[in-house]
Amino acid sequence: MIARIRRLRYLLASIPFLLIVLLASGCIGNSNPQDSLSPAGAAAADSKRLFYPAFWIAVAIFFLTEGALVAAVWRFRHRGAPSDQLPKQVHGNTRLEVAWTIAPALLLAGLAVPTIATIFHLRPSSEGNPLNVTVIGHQWWWEFRYPDLGVVTANELHIPTHRRVNLLLQSEDVIHIFYVPRLAGGMDNVPGRNNTMWIEADKEGEYQGQCTQFCGASHAFMRFKVFADSPQNFDAWAQHQKEGPVNPATLPDQGNQVTYTYNGKPGTPAGGLKVFSNNACIGCHTITGVSNGMVGPNLTHFGERTSLAGASLTNTPDNVAKWIHNPQAVKPEAKMPNLHLSDEEIANLVAYLESLK
């Protein structure tokens, strides 16, 4: 019976150790899209480089202190019949107090030095040849402007690899946080303020991010993607963004081929251009050469994007139709109004938008 209790106690005492092992297991294997411990760029690597020593020191202190606690309970548990014996009535020990005040203070001072150095290192600088991007947070989507390149896009940020990208963070409405963990820690987009940070990708790839400052009903859907392209691909992409989209009239069939069907209704790019131009869409969205709305995302090359609705839906014709049909059903309180378009209008719009390459 005693042996069973002892075994049970060993088992229970092993739980915190098991938790540590489980926690550490998260560090091996394939990394998840927003894993801050799988940095793909220098800023995130700087954060991790500071975190890991602090973490392992914390683990060591954990084992020391929890170990002392468990040892104290194990060793000094009252065993046997209740007795009248009193343990030694120790009141304190000044030397110990001094020691365990100075030691942690020194340890923390040691951590403070690289911490402060890294805080300063993570500030953007204009040396080298940084790419400048302005990140404007909106409820609930991301606007990206490249002031030196004359490019405006939304929700999908393209950057060249191996080049500093200085981000200017702004907001049109409330506070958001631009957070793409594999590239960098987050920074606030505060309305009325210009915050700055930098990211730099080591290798080509797609990096996922999302807003981390609670910003209202659809905060959970304010996501974005960062595409790190090779420098040549990035230049080609930027060049292409400046150009207007494909005009349906220039397509071989003048844009009259049915490219999408919604609830049985056919849609053509040319038809969609008409629907777009004759509805409130032009009031909010910019498509180069077609409209100049400044409220919603720029849609000029929408057909090339991998996602929509604050990067919360994959860019498929059905998803675009779902979004246009009832934006608030996809993203609660979405600012894009439900225009109550007919199925035919939606079919045409989707065909048009997906043709914008």
Partner 1 sequence: MATIAQPYAGTYPRPSRWEVIWEWITTVDHKKIAKLYLVTSFVFFILAGIEALIIRLQLARPDERLISAETYNELFTMHGTMMIFLVVMPLGVAFFNLLVPLQIGARDVAFPRLNALSYWIYLFGGILLTSSWLFEAAPNDGWFAYANLTEKTFTPGHNLDFYYVGLQILGISSLIGAINFFVTILNMRAPGMRIMRMPPFTWMVMVTSVLLFTALPVLAVDLILLMFDRAYATNFFNPAKGGEPILWQHLFWLFGHPEVYIMILPAFGIISEILPTFARKPLFGYPVVVLSGAAIGVMGWGVWAHHMFTVGLGAAANSAFATTTMLIAVPTGIKIFNWIATLWGGDLQMKTPLYFALGFIAMFIIGGLSGVTHGIVPADYEQHMTYYIVAHFHYVLFGGALFALFGGIYYWYPKLFGRMLDETIGKWHFWLMLIGFNLTFGPFHMLGLDGMPRRIYTYAANNGWGFWNMVSTIGAFTIALSILVFFWNVYVTSRKPADAPADPWDGRSLEWTIPSPPPEYNFARIPVVHARDPLWHQKLLRRYGRATGNDPLAQEPADEHIHMPPRSFYPIITALGLPLMGYGFIYQQDHKAFWALFAAGIIVLFLGAFGWATEPTE
* DSSP conformation class of 244: P
Nearest to partner 1 of 312, 355 (CB atom) = 312
CA distance 94 to 82: 33
- In Å, how far are 153, 310, 316, 353 from 331, measured between CA atoms? 20, 9, 17, 20
Spatial CB neighbours of 86, under 8 Å, sequence gap ≥ 6: none
17 binds partner 1, rule: CB under 8 A? no
Of 280-319, binders to partner 1 (CB under 8 A) are 312
253 binds partner 1, rule: CB under 8 A? no
**Residue at 271: amino acid letter:** G
Among 153, 210, 241, 259, binds partner 1 (CB under 8 A): 210
Return the range that interacts with partner 1 (CB under 8 A); candidates 160-168, 188-196, 198-206, 232-240: 188-196
Among 6, 17, 21, 61, binds partner 1 (CB under 8 A): 61
CA distance 261 to 248: 17
168 binds partner 1, rule: CB under 8 A? no
Among 1, 76, 129, 250, binds partner 1 (CB under 8 A): 76
Spatial CB neighbours of 21, under 8 Å, sequence gap ≥ 6: none
Nearest to partner 1 of 160, 186 (CB atom) = 186
125 binds partner 1, rule: CB under 8 A? no
Among 7, 11, 150, 191, binds partner 1 (CB under 8 A): 191
Among 11, 19, 236, 249, binds partner 1 (CB under 8 A): 19
Return the range that interacts with partner 1 (CB under 8 A); candidates 26-34, 148-156, 260-268, 344-352: 26-34
Among 6, 14, 17, 68, binds partner 1 (CB under 8 A): 68
Partners of 226 in the β-ladder: 157, 207
Kindly report the backbone phi and psi dihedral angles of residue 244, in degrees, each rounded to the nearest multiple of 5, phi listed first.
-75, 170
Return the range that interacts with partner 1 (CB under 8 A); candidates 86-94, 248-256, 271-279, 298-306: 86-94
Return the range that interacts with partner 1 (CB under 8 A); candidates 63-71, 242-250, 277-285, 316-324: 63-71
- In Å, how far are 49, 57, 349 from 46, measured between CA atoms? 5, 18, 45
Instruction: Name the one residue in this structure whose structure tokens are 């600088």.
Output: 125
Among 5, 10, 88, 340, binds partner 1 (CB under 8 A): 88
Size of the site for partner 1 (CB under 8 A): 96
Q: Where are the beta strands (DSSP E) in 232-301?
A: 260-262, 265-267, 286-287, 291-292
* DSSP conformation class of 246: P
124 binds partner 1, rule: CB under 8 A? no
Of 325-354, binders to partner 1 (CB under 8 A) are 332-333
Nearest to partner 1 of 58, 249 (CB atom) = 58
Return the range that interacts with partner 1 (CB under 8 A); candidates 128-136, 184-192, 238-246, 293-301: 184-192
190 binds partner 1, rule: CB under 8 A? yes
CA distance 142 to 179: 12
Beta strands 156-160 and 184-189 are: unpaired
231 binds partner 1, rule: CB under 8 A? no
Return the range that interacts with partner 1 (CB under 8 A); candidates 14-22, 229-237, 243-251, 336-344: 14-22
* DSSP conformation class of 41: B
CA distance 314 to 307: 4
Spatial CB neighbours of 94, under 8 Å, sequence gap ≥ 6: none
